[in-house]
Chain A
């Protein structure tokens, strides 16, 4: 049971570079989310999707874009990375009426 798979697990970027984080789930979940975790801040929602082809902004969306072209995949893009985007990124998925989320194992991103 793969659950939620995030790639890559670690990445170092230079300021101004771009990259895409991939999240894939095999549970046929409708909802998918991207969070960032920073020390002392808990997990904050960046963007989320309530279904294929739909996306919405969360609490901290600036500097990020997302796409959900297929139900099982949710991509998070950084067009021009900044040091403030150094963080651990978590993807999660859930179904309607489900109790909780299934989380990926996280991506540690460092922007230098």
Chain B
């Protein structure tokens, strides 16, 4: 079974600075999806960024980018020019591409605080 590990329960960053959240995963599959979700205090789960394992290019969405290291099974999220609105829980998640295994497996999350 796949597992996802987020080793940083909490992180903090100064406004306008850059922060990197770590995520590692374990799988025997060669192709899969990886995601970062944001959960602000409103509780809503918001998709931040996604990556398909067969794509070597790292995904980027505005101020959010990932460092995908397939061999190391690492999928870190970098937030540039941090804003107060970035404060939230961030969850890394894995999804198999195998039929019948459409489940998302989540890490335990990292709580990000943005200091003004």
Contact = CB atoms under 8 A, between A and B. Distances in A.
A and B together in one complex: yes
Interface of A: 31, 33, 35, 40-45, 48, 50, 58, 88, 90, 92, 94, 96, 99-101, 103, 105-106
A88 B43 contact: yes
A66 to B, nearest CB: 14
A42 B108 contact: yes
B5 to A, nearest CB: 10
Nearest to A41: B108
Contacts of A99: 33, 35, 47, 50
Given A100-B47, A103-B44, A103-B45, A42 B103 contact: no
B102 A50 contact: yes
A58 B105 CA distance: 10
Interface in B41-69: 43-45, 47, 50
